Amino acid sequence: MGAAARQITAAAIASFDACPNPRTRELLQSLTAHLHELIAEMRLTRGEWERGIEILTQTGEITDEHRQEFILWSDALGISMLVDALADERPAEATESTVEGPFWAEGSPLREYGESIAEQPDGEPLWVSGRVLAVGGEPLARAEVDVWQNGTNRLYAVQNPDSPEEHLRGRFVTRDDGSFAFLAIRPTPYPIPDDGPVGQMLASTGRHPWRPAHIHVAVSAGGFERLTTHVFDSASPYLDSDAVFAVKPSLIKHLVRHDPNDPSRPSGVDGEWSSLEVNFVLAPTRMVTAE
């Protein structure tokens, strides 16, 4: 980097010296330094810079209340999982976290124990049951289990104007023994939205957009760290090449397929069905001591 370039970088970093928030100042100065270093190292051309601005503009234009392309960038570049890994200080016994993704929606319906989250016919029934526990095994009553998944059309309800908003989404409250149960559908792989800037990046670099079959789960209880995680189907493809790097071995579960005449068949289920038993173990809220 020449003297003129170094002066530009130094001036840009120094422009944040008066920032009153120390953490904001540190982040912006470090971001500026690293970006300038990358640009100088790669000798970024004007054309490449213009293309980068164009991509950011397209990302903003395609983002709305139903689609968050900036989160897709974060997911597809592994940034979301890196932030998760750096922030995750749970005990080894606690269920591991992973990315929330861009399709969580606030206000999922509160459903009863064992109720279906499907608002319309869709896929092979999957009976999901288990318990929410504290580290050490104590059952957690009145914990909330928020679940959401894609349909067999590869879309989440928030992506599909033809689906009811509450389709394949629901919140469940655990019973006194920490137990919960709901009827979902056996998850299927799907591609992340690839008709925008992130998809262009994947295609141009030889990467695929596919995610392995999974169900999203967010678990919360008073006095415990909120858990955002996935349950992955062990029979799914793409477990070793998830487009957003979110697979952790501990989150891969075996889904049991049942005969239609199995006497343990849940009420209202016809034909083949599957089941999954899974527990979620929460870590206590970290205490912050003022210095």
Domain ranges of the chain: 3-44, 79-282
Low-confidence ranges of the chain (pLDDT < 70): 1, 287-291
Predicted local distance difference test score (pLDDT) of residue 265? 87
Beta strand spans in 186-272 (E)? 190-191, 210-211, 214-220, 227-233, 252-253, 256-258
The rounded distance, in Å, linking the Cα atoms of 37 and 57 is 23
- Of 149, 186, 188, 153, which is closest to residue 273 (Cα–Cα)? 186
At 268 the pLDDT is: 78
CATH classification number, 79-282, choose in 2.60.120.560, 3.30.420.40, 3.40.50.300, 2.60.130.10 = 2.60.130.10
Check residue 291 and give its pLDDT.
Answer: 33
In sequence order, the 6+-apart residues with CB closer than 8 A to the CB of 186 are 123, 124, 125, 126, 213, 233, 255, 274
Write the burial class of residue 235 (CB in 10 Å: 0-12 exposed, 13-18 middle, 19+ buried).
Answer: middle
Q: Are 132 and 174 in contact (CB under 8 A)?
A: yes
- pLDDT value at residue 1: 67
* Cα(229)–Cα(276) distance, integer angstroms: 16
Pair of tokens at residue 84 = 């998760």
**What percent of the residues of the chain are helix, what percent strand, and what percent coil, each to the nearest 5?**
30, 20, 50
What pLDDT is stored for residue 266 in this prediction? 87
Antiparallel, parallel or unpaired: β 144-148 and 214-220: antiparallel
